[in-house]
């Protein structure tokens, strides 16, 4: 009789520290298993490599018996367990459970195994409930979970970590994690590129980067070593701006900011980044993700790069150049639809760079005049619809008799406070953009700007410029 054993533990800590996996394997060998498969995975997961190999072997009909120590080693999901037992029954493979006297050939054995499976599933559900309740209690107290680089957790609060961390031998300067974190922020704002910033940081602090693969090569939390995605997540972390944040799981860190549960101003005296700096960082990251980053290959700065789009195919336009026939040493630049060269768009004609820039200047001057006229009119304070709905819901529950709705009332007040905080930040950002726009009330203002100043200004105020048939079709502004 050929017996196949299967062992499983939920975590690598169980496998290494408690030797639970090794104990299971030794027991299976003593029970007569000639070959043993093992997993270090949660029992609630169906996709386990060794478990999948086990089932493929069972379906092939080349073994007579499967040996396990306990039933929950196969699965903690009742649905998965039933499917597994059905496969074992249909292939006429015997299942032997060392800790339970189970015989699948009898009705009592089938009942017993289903009962144990239901109990295992209930145990998993109860554990999940306890974890959820613990997380909710943690959030109700605005308690911190983990401290990102630059911070240290003091009881339930977060503070900047000013303890000595490393010493730069060249300058004989001792630096803390907080000082290094601030240096990383300033480096990114100067370089405006993730890779260029990390290259500068690694060279300064003597860090060698390696390509890590596999689950066993995860970096320890708080270690001073970043790759591009980790650096992006760190810069976007609200903790650096003085706010606690929940719901930033690995899948939600990059593109699901609307799902984050942010508790504002929980540690306002321990900020690495202020809100205005974060606006600039966010704009740089957003631009780089859409346009492929800043190019440092050319000494010439093109302020309109990344802002010009084809109105027909809605694709980004690329910059081209040509030389004057009268003076071949003079190079001129224009923008043409990038899809035309792929035969995916019919917009062949290009638009010269000065014409596009003049259209932007005209649009900004017109908007500056409109804002100046609006500012002279009396403004009525009207709550946005979303805030009106929250206030109406709050009034309803506050008028309800008794105190059963106290938790709902507290949650609604928290939502209203967070809404006002976000609105305040948006108003400040809008006001800052309007102040930038005021300079365009003077037609000579933009002529005095350097190319790099124009680049920052256009990206802060201009969303897109559309061109069609060799002409400017429209200018979309952010303000």
Give yes or no for a contact between 5 and 31, defined as CB atoms under 8 angstroms apart: yes
Q: What is the CATH number of domain 3-139?
A: 3.40.50.1390
Torsion of CA 281, 285, 287, 293, to 10 degrees: 120
Q: Partners of 468 in the beta sheet?
A: 471
Q: Which residues of 369-404 are buried (b: 16+ CB within 10 A; e: fewer)?
A: eeeeeeeeeeeeeeeeeeeeebeeebeeeeeeeeee
pTM of the predicted model as reported, rounded to 2 decimal places: 0.58
Note the pLDDT of residue 273.
94
Enumerate the CATH 3.90.1750 domain ranges in the chain, comma separated: 151-212+219-291
Note the pLDDT of residue 104.
66
Note the pLDDT of residue 176.
92
Enumerate the CATH 3.40.50.1390 domain ranges in the chain, comma separated: 3-139
Neighbours of 422 (CB within 10 A): 12
* Residue 10 burial (10 A CB sphere; 0-12, 13-18, 19+): middle
Spatial CB neighbours of 109, under 8 Å, sequence gap ≥ 6:
102, 103
Note the pLDDT of residue 16.
63
Reading the block at residue 439, the tokens are 């300079």
Q: Which residue numbers in the chain have pLDDT < 70?
A: 12-18, 103-106, 116-117, 120-121, 208-224, 250-255, 290-299, 371-382, 424-446
Q: Partners of 176 in the beta sheet?
A: 164
Q: What is the CATH number of domain 151-212+219-291?
A: 3.90.1750
Q: Which residues of 78-117 are buried (b: 16+ CB within 10 A; e: fewer)?
A: bebbeebbeebeeeebbbbbbeeebebeeeebeebbeebb
Is 10 considered catalytic here? yes
Note the pLDDT of residue 160.
95
Q: Where is 452: in which H helix or E strand?
A: helix 451-461
Note the pLDDT of residue 248.
82
Catalytically annotated residue among 3, 10, 334, 350 = 10
Per-residue CA distances from 276 to 15, 47, 256, 257, 269 (Å): 48, 45, 21, 18, 16
Note the pLDDT of residue 62.
87
Tokens 């003076």, residue? 327
Helix-then-strand count for the chain, H and E: 13, 16
Give yes or no for a contact between 33 and 6, defined as CB atoms under 8 angstroms apart: no
């Amino acid at each position: 009789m050929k017996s196949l054993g299967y062992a499983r533990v939920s975590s690598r800590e169980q496998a290494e520290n408690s030797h639970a996996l090794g104990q299971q394997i030794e027991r299976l060998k003593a029970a007569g298993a000639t070959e043993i498969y093992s997993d270090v995975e949660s029992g609630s997961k169906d996709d386990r490599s060794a478990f999948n190999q086990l089932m493929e072997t069972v379906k092939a009909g080349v073994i007579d018996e499967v040996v396990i120590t306990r039933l929950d080693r196969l699965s903690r999901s009742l649905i998965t367990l039933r499917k597994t037992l059905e496969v074992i029954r249909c292939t006429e493979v015997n299942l032997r459970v060392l800790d339970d006297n189970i015989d699948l050939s009898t009705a009592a054995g089938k009942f017993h195994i289903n009962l144990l499976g239901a109990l295992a599933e209930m145990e998993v559900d109860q554990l999940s409930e306890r974890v959820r309740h613990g997380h909710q209690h943690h959030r109700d107290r605005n308690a911190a979970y983990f401290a990102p680089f630059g911070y240290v957790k003091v009881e339930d609060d977060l503070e900047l970590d000013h303890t000595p961390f490393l010493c730069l031998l060249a300058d004989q300067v001792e630096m803390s994690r907080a000082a290094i974190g601030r240096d990383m922020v300033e480096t990114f704002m100067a370089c405006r590129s993730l890779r260029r910033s990390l290259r500068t940081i690694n060279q300064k602090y003597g860090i060698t980067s390696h390509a890590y693969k596999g689950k066993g090569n995860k970096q320890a939390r708080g270690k001073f070593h970043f790759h591009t995605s980790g650096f992006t997540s760190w810069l976007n972390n609200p903790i650096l701006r003085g706010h606690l944040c929940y719901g930033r799981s690995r899948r939600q860190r990059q593109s699901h900011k609307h799902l984050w549960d942010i508790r504002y101003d929980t540690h306002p005296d321990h900020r690495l980044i202020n809100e205005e700096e974060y606006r600039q960082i966010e704009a740089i990251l957003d631009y780089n993700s859409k346009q492929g980053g800043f190019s440092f290959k050319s000494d010439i700065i093109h302020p309109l790069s990344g802002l010009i789009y084809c109105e027909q195919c809605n694709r980004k336009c690329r910059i081209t150049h040509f030389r004057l026939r009268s003076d071949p040493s003079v190079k001129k630049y224009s923008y043409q639809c990038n899809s035309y060269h792929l035969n995916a768009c019919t917009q062949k004609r290009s638009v010269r760079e000065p014409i596009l820039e003049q259209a932007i200047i005209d649009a900004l001057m017109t908007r500056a005049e409109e804002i100046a006229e609006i500012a002279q009119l009396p403004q009525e304070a009207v709550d946005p619809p979303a805030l009106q709905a929250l206030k109406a819901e709050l009034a309803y529950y506050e008028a309800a008799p008794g105190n059963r709705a106290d938790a709902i009332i507290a949650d609604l007040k928290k939502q209203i406070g967070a809404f006002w905080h976000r609105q305040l930040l948006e108003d400040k950002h809008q006001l800052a953009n309007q102040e930038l726009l005021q300079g365009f009330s003077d037609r000579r203002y933009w002529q005095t700007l350097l190319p790099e100043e124009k680049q920052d200004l256009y990206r802060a105020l201009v969303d897109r410029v559309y061109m069609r048939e060799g002409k400017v079709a429209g200018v979309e502004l952010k303000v």
